Amino acid sequence: MEFNFEKKESAHGLLSLKVSEADYKTEFDAQLKAQAKRANFKGFRPGKVPTSLVKKMYGKDLKQDIFNKTVSNAVDNYVKENDLHLLFAPMYVGEFLTPEQLDASKEVEVSFDLIIEPEFDYTLDKRTSVQGYQLEISDNDVENTINKLKESYPNAVDVEAAAKGDFIKANFKAVEGEEEPKESVVVLDEKVKEATVALFEGKKVGDVVAINVEDIFVDAKDIRVIFPMEEDAAADFKGAYEATITKITRNEEPALDQEFFDKVLGEGKADSEESFKAELKVVIADANSTAADSLLSNEVQKALMKKIDVEISEELLTKVYKQTSEKEVTDEEVAEKLADFTEAVKWRAIAGRISRDGEIKVGHEDIEAEAEKQIIAQFRQFGMGEIPADQLKGYVQNYLSYENGQKYNEIASQVNDQKLLDYVKDKVKVDEKVVDLGEFEEILKEATNK
């Protein structure tokens, strides 16, 4: 196999490969024999199908598959051996070879556009200043959070007579017809018409409420809460029903007791109001640290982008944007998105270079630790306590294998971003502003709306 690399500009090179049949014939013959042993053709015993027959039936497609893998591996090895730092996966140039074209040729030439990290100079020192935020959780922040948590973790108690806001479990039976009763729950909240709320107020378990289903909800389509159906059908669903009440539940504000502490923090994390508030203060700070790091990361990115000159031609960026888009894009769409795309590509080059120079590496242990952290946070969000170690390990493995490992790569990227931020903020000057939770939430809102 022959390679020819031609540098087109600072961030673009053309890699051409001359591939002869001999470069992949050994693998092709081996795969052909293996397929012949597995083949099941009428008139032949298993494992006795002639290789020539398998080649006649499947040879062209198999040859193309082996050819593609051979070329892909060759390009990857060339990139590694020549220490080329790519910003995108190699992009095939021209029309793909058909199985017929490949079968008819002893030697073919294929080419790939390589988008390479361009050379640039940079320095990381205290002359670069960025804005950071140090979150100081006040007692008032803790009290406000507790009030919100009380709404999230109410005490559900059975009550004798219904009132607005209660949860009504009832059997709904059509007045006419042989339809089986349907047990469901209706919450007497703002989604239910005032007149309907009035029908239920004061009623007790065993009472029967006569009602037209189209009159229950403000938005008629919400009838799907009681009777599962398509949205289009729900809008026209009507009928007289009798609702026999079987249970009435009311949410009451919980006391600051052990049950509440365990629901919020996990079992045994706090055993008094004082320790609960102290632990909650830590939890609030931890929960917002990711957002604070995200804000700082954006500030770092903006500062370095402004300071570091990364040269990539608009022509090349336009070409790359079109080739990497999932669907065909118009020139108008390219013009609209190109500026953001350019910023993203240039930051990818800067981040990649700094990561290498700083010897920033992400190991499997780092990825597992971050996945574990995210899972624990999710469990805590839903009021679930400690997770047994063996169970947690299983959750981590399932989490990282989600969507054929896509989640693994996503978390690896998050860990790398965090390590990069930690590395850079030690080098530059971070002007930290102390803010309380309310101020921080306003800063976040403003940043999100930009």
59 and 207 both lie in a single domain: no
User: For the chain, what is the radius of gyration of the CA atoms?
Assistant: 32
Backbone angles phi, psi at 132, to 5 degrees: -125, 170
* pLDDT at residue 438 greater than cutoff 90: no
CATH of the domain at 73: 3.30.70.1050
290 and 437 both lie in a single domain: yes
244 and 345 both lie in a single domain: no
In a domain, 68, yes or no: yes
332 and 428 both lie in a single domain: yes
CA distances from 8 to 83, 92, 113 (A): 17, 16, 10
300 and 376 both lie in a single domain: yes
In a domain, 444, yes or no: yes
289 and 399 both lie in a single domain: yes
Domain that holds residue 105: 2-115
pLDDT in tens, 267-277: 788 999 999 99
In a domain, 16, yes or no: yes
CA atoms within 13 A of residue 207's CA, in its CB half-sphere: 16
Record the pTM. 0.71
In a domain, 89, yes or no: yes
Domain count, the chain: 3
- Domain limit, last residue, from 204, 227, 252: 252
In a domain, 122, yes or no: no
What local confidence, expressed as pLDDT, does residue 127 receive? 93
What local confidence, expressed as pLDDT, does residue 126 receive? 93
Residue the block writes with tokens 């953001």: 340
Backbone angles phi, psi at 271, to 5 degrees: -130, 10
372 and 310 both lie in a single domain: yes
In a domain, 333, yes or no: yes
162 and 142 both lie in a single domain: no
218 and 342 both lie in a single domain: no
pLDDT in tens, 104-139: 888 999 999 999 999 999 999 999 999 999 998 999
CATH of the domain at 220: 3.10.50.30
pLDDT in tens, 179-194: 889 999 999 999 999 9
* C-alpha to C-alpha distance for 320 and 341, rounded to whole angstroms: 10
* pLDDT at residue 317 greater than cutoff 90: yes
Confidence of residue 59 (pLDDT cuts 50, 70, 90): confident
* pLDDT at residue 229 greater than cutoff 90: no
367 and 283 both lie in a single domain: yes
Is 235:220 a contact under the CB 8 Å cutoff? yes
β-bridge pairing 107-115 and 12-20: antiparallel
275 and 370 both lie in a single domain: yes
SS3 state at 393:
helix
pLDDT in tens, 349-388: 999 999 999 999 999 999 999 999 888 877 766 656 567 7
Q: What is the mean pLDDT of the chain?
A: 90
318 and 425 both lie in a single domain: yes
CATH of the domain at 427: 1.10.3120
Q: For residue 191, give the DSSP letter.
A: T
Element housing 438 (H / E): helix 437-449
Residue the block writes with tokens 């909240």: 189
Element housing 283 (H / E): helix 273-307
- Domain limit, last residue, from 210, 229, 252: 252
